Structure 1
Amino acid sequence: MTGGGIRRTETAVGEPPTWAQELLEHLRPTGRDVRRLVDWLAATAQAAVSLQDSAGTLVAGTRLPLDEAPVADITSGRIASAAWEGEGRHLRLVKVAHPSRICVLAVSRDVPFDRNTSDVVTHTAQVIELLLAAHESTAAGHRLRRATADLRLAILQLLMVEDTVAARRVAAGLWPGLLDADTACVYVVESDPGRRDRLVEECLDTTGEEALVVRCPAMDGHVIVVSPREATAGELRSLVERHPDTFLGGSARQSLARTATAYGQAVSALAVAHFRTDKTAVYAERTHPERLVDPAALRGWTARVLRPLDALPHHTRAELLATTRLGLEFTAVNTAKVLGVSRNTVRARMERVEVMLGTDFDDLTARAVVHLALHTQVNLLDGQAGADPGTASPCLADLLAGPAVRAWAQDLLDRLNRDTRNLRRTLRTWIAAGGNAERAAQALGVHAQTVREHVRGAEPVLERQLLAAGADLYEVVLAHLAVGDLEQPVLTGASQASPPA
């Protein structure tokens, strides 16, 4: 140990002293901590050390009694350092430049500062400057990324409620031209939640920031990508190929106003992707029941079902329809997260639609029928007028009674007849019980777990998800209605709104 108090070990000729090597360690990514660096300086210089800002706030170390005058001279920039000794104390003050303000590093010792100790203090102050600048830059970058991510989510939520004008206006400032196209595809990329932030960055890099990339607010492992570019599908497939346990689901091309519909399609495709060797899937345009109905008749029926909502202001009507469309596909909690509202707001909006349509969404047949109307409203009406209010429109039974629909329904449900467990009876009873396994079990005289196993067993046979409410389940419900295995649901609001025959 020297008289000045610095502890040192012998080093080879030409090598830096040990304290310099230790100081450099604090610049490594794992060692960048100002508080730990100040503690290291205190131990190395055998001194009391404090780092405070111009307001006197202690940043690191232990608070020291300091004369305000030299501190003010340093923080104002008039001087870069100061030294004082007296009353058995030796004090050094050094300016530490901070990106937003000047700090003061104070080192107090019982013995005088020798050359080595002075070097340690000077170099430590320089390293502190670097760490503070890096921290400020990192924090600013984090705030910018957070604000940008929030803005992307806000744009997605506007698209989800069909407010494309506002979505384009918000996007124009940062991503000019991103939403200029009339149509787009929605993709959902899934990975382990722990690596989602990295996945977001890779999606941004892969798409060249020419797509709307959003952390899904409902599912921790999901990243939502909205893109009008054809090349995006291939870019995302390439990304998925590079990473294990990463999956991709994509929608059919939809207008921007149908972003919510496209999102539902992408989620449905994502479920299929888990069973594909390439871990990707695009929403399959299989035969849907509405494709087998006369379009004019379907438009007329849809207009009559949704007519009770026509008296509402356009924005309110669009908000209720968009919320209900998502609420019928997902839980109230996940719908709320996607739309950026509370789950109570989602429930209140859906309850309002229930009342206006005169139905009960606890009834799976009612949910399926309203889902059909909402699906038609965005896919067939698309700005076209429905039936004239003075013209009689067909009822649901008439729509489902056509030979093409009945043949489709019979073919679909007949697949269940090959199973000796009588899956068809269990599924019919479970649907009639509102998807409640306990009530269905009571009606069948079996255990609730048996009902769940039968419903789960019907999924691969029908090639549709049933336990998760959504379009797949509603198609199966419509098939039961078409063949007469279930009673038609009640929609008194639509009946009251229909014109007299």
Structure 2
Amino acid sequence: MPPARARAAAAVPVRRRAGMSRAREWGNVPQPGPGRRADEGKAEVTGRNDGKRRPPTAAGEHPAWARELLDHLRPGGRDVRRVVDWLAGAAHAEVSLQDDAGTLLAGTRLPLDESLVAGLRSGRIASAAWEGEGHHLRLVRVGHPARACVLAVSREAPFDRHTADVVTHTAQVIELLLSAHETAAAGHRLRRATADLRLAILQLLMVEDTVAARRVAAGLWPGLLDADTACVYVVESTPGRREQLLEDCLDTTREEALVVRCPAMDGHVIVVSPREATADHLRSLVERHPDTYLGGSVWQSLARTATAYGQAVSALAVARFRADKTAVYAERTHPERLMDPAALRGWTAMVLRPLDALPHHTRAELLATTRLGLEFTAVNSAKILGVSRNTVRARMERVETMLGVDFGDVTARAVVHLALHTQINLLDGRAGTAPGAPARLADLLAGPAVGAWARELLGRLDGDPRNVRRTVRTWIAAGGNAERAAQSLGVHPQTVREHVRGAEPVLERQLLAAGTDLYEVVLAHLAVGDLEQPLLAGG
């Protein structure tokens, strides 16, 4: 028996169903036989009825429909829905594509024989066809990495060899697209999971849980956080370019750094690296791309990642005005370094003593959240920590209550900020290991070195004829509220904002964005007696 007849004999027996004049199933869609062209009957499909035969296709030349179908595999046209719509037009038919659960993926839903569809999904048959009630239906099994799909084509005219070829090849194209989509989706899920893991590591570092951060990182990036110190960098671009910026940072650092989408700022990418070469790599990246800026911290212990992040953000503000678009946080003279170390340790221990009765984990969580909450808004702090803003506010309110302070008062925020950062220094061993004799805030601020520093800093504003120094002092006393400060001064709120903004480059500190810069200016006012000292339960 010739091979062609053998295949025909092996076809599934004819099945008759109510309302159908003829039905058939087979393992493969028929291919053109010997001496018969693949495009025979095309005049009927395309609407030609003049009886003229088309000239044969030149050797190596694809028919027009094949070229159109192949166009759907180009990078800009890989859309299963568009392929199904194209098939509907090319075959003058209604077309549907369903998955193994019967969900319509593309096209128009068609009434299908469930037992026949089940056979296609199971792989028992590869394709099937029937005709009846004035319609001709063809079904083709479309393989898929996760599940089998069914492509159904229904038309009034019978399926000639040309239309059968179109359906067969379209099914193959759809299979390729579904496989490519599944591969791309799996790759996307992997990249998303890796990005989430990087963010989780950063959040652990932000709350000083370096042990857990190292444990999580060791699985995918062995040795990444083995060092005791690291630098934090913030690379900024437009929000629309951030994904490409993230990939550029990963390539530039060769994955030898922790690269994270900033959860708080849409245009920022955060890089935590224990390697000195990272700075040069990132500078090179910024040089190559316009509208890209880099801010970096000084070297900090991993437990001070949150502090280093604040420094990098502060440096980024400077980088926007520099020709090379980069800046590193300047290690200027901070007021706490001018205070008596033993007295500062004793005062810090006294201020934070109400928290000592808490379990270690709870205390560390409250301190880390409050430290971030004093540097950034509650919303941004929540995004950085991966918790809700209500959680951030609840933790800070608990600290307020236990310390007996009001964080609505900028001076109280500045003083607690001083205690929290001194406590971090104590953990790092930078200010000694044991608290000294108890002292009060007034004693710390009364030292000659602190007084000289404060007078020099605020004295920079004295030359402004607008009396900017008075505006800044009034604005701080009003809790950083321009409207209340304007009422006290008898000016417009915009005038207050302009004066405060104008003081920033003179003082070399950001004031409108609450954080370390503002709190240092507040401490300077407290040291010279321009503001009343806040009341604290412990000091």
**What's the TM-score once normalised by structure 1's chain length?**
0.94
Shift of 1:338: 0.8
Structure 1 residue runs of 5 or longer lacking an equivalent are 496-501
Amino acid at match of 1:260: A
Counterpart in 1 of 2:471? 426
For residues 114 and 378 of structure 2, the distance between their equivalents in structure 1, rounded to whole angstroms, comes to: 59
Shift of 1:330: 0.7
Among candidates 434, 450, 472, match of residue 495 of structure 2: 450
Partners of 1:6 and 1:117 within 8 A in 2: no
Among candidates 314, 320, 327, match of residue 268 of structure 1: 314
Among candidates 101, 107, 110, match of residue 147 of structure 2: 101
Q: Deviations over 1:332-356 (max 9, x none)?
A: 1111111111111111111111111
Counterpart in 2 of 1:386? 434
For residues 77 and 510 of structure 2, the distance between their equivalents in structure 1, rounded to whole angstroms, comes to: 50
For residues 41 and 23 of structure 1, the distance between their equivalents in structure 2, rounded to whole angstroms, comes to: 9
Partners of 1:182 and 1:256 within 8 A in 2: yes
Q: Secondary structure at the match of 1:487?
A: coil
Among candidates 356, 372, 386, match of residue 340 of structure 1: 386
Among candidates 222, 239, 250, match of residue 268 of structure 2: 222
Partners of 1:4 and 1:113 within 8 A in 2: no
Counterpart in 2 of 1:413? 458
Counterpart in 1 of 2:51? none
For residues 411 and 132 of structure 2, the distance between their equivalents in structure 1, rounded to whole angstroms, comes to: 89
For residues 387 and 449 of structure 2, the distance between their equivalents in structure 1, rounded to whole angstroms, comes to: 41
Matched, 1:440 2:485: yes
Q: Deviations over 1:83-129 (max 9, x none)?
A: 33344433322221111111222222322322221221111111001
Which stretch has the larger CA shift, 447-456 or 63-72?
63-72
Matched, 1:494 2:502: no
Partners of 1:299 and 1:381 within 8 A in 2: no
Amino acid at match of 1:433: A
Q: Secondary structure at the match of 1:42?
A: helix
Partners of 2:260 and 2:271 within 8 A in 1: yes
Amino acid at match of 1:80: A
Amino acid at match of 2:538: A
Among candidates 459, 478, 482, match of residue 527 of structure 2: 482
Matched, 1:5 2:49: no
Shift of 1:283: 0.8
Partners of 1:211 and 1:226 within 8 A in 2: yes
Q: Deviations over 1:27-73 (max 9, x none)?
A: 12221111221111111011222222233332222233333344333
Which runs of structure 2 are paired with 1:392-403 in the superposition (5 Å)?
Answer: 392-403=437-448
Q: Secondary structure at the match of 1:337?
A: helix
Which stretch has the larger CA shift, 274-283 or 14-23?
14-23
What's the RMSD between the two structures over aligned residues? 1.9
Alpha-carbon distance change, 94 to 381 in structure 1, aligned in 2, over 3 angstroms = closer
Counterpart in 1 of 2:416? 370
Matched, 1:187 2:233: yes
Partners of 1:33 and 1:131 within 8 A in 2: yes
Q: How many residues align?
A: 491
Counterpart in 1 of 2:281? 235
**What's the TM-score once normalised by structure 2's chain length?**
0.87
Counterpart in 1 of 2:88? 42
Which stretch has the larger CA shift, 294-303 or 370-379?
294-303
For residues 409 and 372 of structure 1, the distance between their equivalents in structure 2, rounded to whole angstroms, comes to: 15
For residues 74 and 439 of structure 1, the distance between their equivalents in structure 2, rounded to whole angstroms, comes to: 74
Q: Secondary structure at the match of 1:466?
A: coil
Partners of 1:50 and 1:61 within 8 A in 2: yes
Amino acid at match of 1:208: R
Alpha-carbon distance change, 358 to 54 in structure 1, aligned in 2, over 3 angstroms = closer
Amino acid at match of 2:242: R
Counterpart in 2 of 1:84? 130
Which runs of structure 2 are paired with 1:10-25 in the superposition (5 Å)?
Answer: 13-14=58-59, 15-25=61-71
Matched, 1:297 2:336: no
Shift of 1:192: 0.5
For residues 272 and 473 of structure 1, the distance between their equivalents in structure 2, rounded to whole angstroms, comes to: 16
For residues 212 and 242 of structure 1, the distance between their equivalents in structure 2, rounded to whole angstroms, comes to: 21
Among candidates 363, 383, 387, match of residue 317 of structure 1: 363
For residues 145 and 382 of structure 1, the distance between their equivalents in structure 2, rounded to whole angstroms, comes to: 35
For residues 133 and 477 of structure 2, the distance between their equivalents in structure 1, rounded to whole angstroms, comes to: 91
Q: Deviations over 1:176-210 (max 9, x none)?
A: 22222211111111110111111111111111112
Counterpart in 2 of 1:157? 203
Alpha-carbon distance change, 36 to 393 in structure 1, aligned in 2, over 3 angstroms = same
Counterpart in 1 of 2:25? none
Among candidates 136, 157, 163, match of residue 117 of structure 1: 163
Shift of 1:152: 1.3
Partners of 2:301 and 2:428 within 8 A in 1: no
Q: Secondary structure at the match of 2:462?
A: helix
Which stretch has the larger CA shift, 372-381 or 335-344?
372-381
Matched, 1:404 2:449: yes
For residues 331 and 56 of structure 2, the distance between their equivalents in structure 1, rounded to whole angstroms, comes to: 74
Which runs of structure 2 are paired with 1:136-215 in the superposition (5 Å)?
Answer: 136-215=182-261
Amino acid at match of 2:121: T
Alpha-carbon distance change, 115 to 473 in structure 1, aligned in 2, over 3 angstroms = same
For residues 47 and 180 of structure 2, the distance between their equivalents in structure 1, rounded to whole angstroms, comes to: 29
Q: Secondary structure at the match of 1:30?
A: helix
For residues 231 and 287 of structure 2, the distance between their equivalents in structure 1, rounded to whole angstroms, comes to: 20
Counterpart in 2 of 1:498? none
Amino acid at match of 1:263: Y
Alpha-carbon distance change, 304 to 62 in structure 1, aligned in 2, over 3 angstroms = same
For residues 172 and 324 of structure 2, the distance between their equivalents in structure 1, rounded to whole angstroms, comes to: 52
Amino acid at match of 1:494: G
Q: Secondary structure at the match of 1:23?
A: helix
Shift of 1:380: 3.9
Q: Secondary structure at the match of 2:461?
A: helix
Partners of 1:4 and 1:112 within 8 A in 2: no
Using the aligned pairs only, state the percent identity.
82
Q: Secondary structure at the match of 1:229?
A: coil
Counterpart in 2 of 1:75? 121
Which stretch has the larger CA shift, 413-422 or 448-457?
448-457
Shift of 1:317: 0.9
Amino acid at match of 1:459: E
Amino acid at match of 2:457: L
Among candidates 356, 372, 376, match of residue 330 of structure 1: 376
Q: Secondary structure at the match of 2:137?
A: strand
Shift of 1:386: 3.3
For residues 307 and 185 of structure 2, the distance between their equivalents in structure 1, rounded to whole angstroms, comes to: 37
Partners of 2:426 and 2:433 within 8 A in 1: no
Which stretch has the larger CA shift, 449-458 or 69-78?
69-78
